[in-house]
Amino acid sequence: MPLSLRHLFVVLLWAGLLTAYADDDVLVRELEKKGYLTHQEAEEILNMDSVRVEPKGKHTEMIRISGLFQFQYNYMEFDDGAGLNPASRNNFQLRRIYLGVDASLGNGFGAIVMPNFGGGKVRLDHAYIYKQMENPDINLYAGLRKVRFNQEEYSSTTALRTIERSIVSGYWGNDTGTEDELPEGTQSNGDLGFAAQHMGLFAHYDVSDSLGMELSIVNGYAGESSHNAFQNSLGIYTQLYTSWDFAQREDERLMLTAGISAGYQSAGNSFWQPTDNGASTGLQIGNSDGTAMSVGLNPYFLLEWDGFILTGEFLINWIEHGKLYTPQQLAVAATKPTSAQAAPYGFIVTPSYRVSEDVELVFQYAYLNTDGRGAMLDSTLPNGEGVALRRFFDSAQAYYFGVNWYIYGNDLKVQLGYQYTEYANSYLNFGPNAGTFTGPGFSVNSIRSQLQLVF
């Protein structure tokens, strides 16, 4: 593409995305400032006939564009305790591609839309209207946003020290498989759908520089859909956190942050039970008639000491009728059985150390115990879909070792990591031990690398 046409294309693309009034020189100078154009190229474009873009809303003051690009390489080897080892996986992928717009209308009002184009499909990561107030320091949100539960899940994707979030966050954050109306045979994963994105109302209050709280009233299931046939009630989440600064010198950073989150879903346990071959039984796990509640608690901490960072959190949910059915219960005709309460729990510990300004070493240990509810490799481990024949496992643990190279901080970084993940005690559908978590385990060795660019 000729030089002048290429730059004109860049300008028109930005103008279309901004969709806000801007004099030509303001837009072009901004592109020049960000390095997309040299000074000479900017002057050439400004000498062209100009095109003006105006917003539809007359009160729009400013629109910001932002984006995230994550390109990954994955290699995975599998060891099935049942002796049926799947083929290894060796591939590249566009893990995440965010392209978002933040529109400010003035007086603290605005809206953010952030779609994700990664993974071969388009979906909303978050989209909400906000109102910012200064006295008191309160932010209000209405729309799709992450609830304040599971701190690793809530943390910014761009600032993750590990390449992927842990198996614990995968279990608490993914939806239960009933976000939309499910046709017969639709597969589910058994995850809690308790953390991550929810649709609803959010309020964040900074009481002081060291004390904050948040309250959310949201749909009782994860995701953006409003067409859930099994859950028709709301959930509530709250968080309280504080921090202490122990630094003795101006050039020292020694900060401790600690908090606790809690959540309640009155109908938080609805999903379908697939058999080992992935076909639905036609019966629902738990009590999906709107009376099976789920209550969660999540204490966490963050310690920063110069180049050393240590994060840790513990998660537990009490889930009414949360355990898997036994074959004997499923054999009862005409009525849907009621299973016992489950209390899955997990914890995540992640230390890291900056050996230099640009290089960081990272370790993470994550442990998950589902207390008879079951978890699937498909949904707790990225790129693990289909390798374990959709079996439920009662517990899992993972060890991660990684190194990060910060070229321009989190705006441009390269990550390399190795993880060993072990799933134990699979659920048996058949045989003398049917209905128990006494089956063989499954382990995964994975190597990932990721190139991240933020603008």
pLDDT per residue rounded down to tens, the chain (455 residues) = 444 444 444 444 444 444 443 455 666 676 777 676 777 777 766 666 555 556 667 778 888 899 999 999 999 999 998 888 888 999 999 999 999 999 999 899 999 999 988 877 788 888 999 999 988 999 999 999 999 999 999 999 999 999 999 999 999 986 543 333 333 333 345 678 788 888 999 999 999 999 999 999 998 777 766 555 555 678 999 999 999 999 988 889 999 999 999 999 887 655 444 343 333 444 334 333 446 788 999 999 999 999 999 999 999 999 887 787 666 665 654 455 567 788 999 999 999 999 999 999 999 999 999 998 888 887 799 888 777 667 889 999 999 999 999 999 999 999 999 999 999 999 887 778 877 889 999 999 999 999 999 99
* Per-residue CA distances from 274 to 142, 216, 277, 324, 389 (Å): 35, 32, 8, 11, 10
E strand map for 85-122: 89-106, 109-116
Are 112 and 127 within 8 A, CB to CB? yes
What's the CATH fold of domain 63-454?
Answer: Porin (2.40.160)
CA atoms within 13 A on the CB side of 14: 21
Q: Which amino acid is at 3?
A: L
Q: Among 267, 126, 151, 311, which Cα is nearest to 202's?
A: 126
Are 63 and 435 within 8 A, CB to CB? no
Are 64 and 27 within 8 A, CB to CB? no
pTM of the model: 0.83
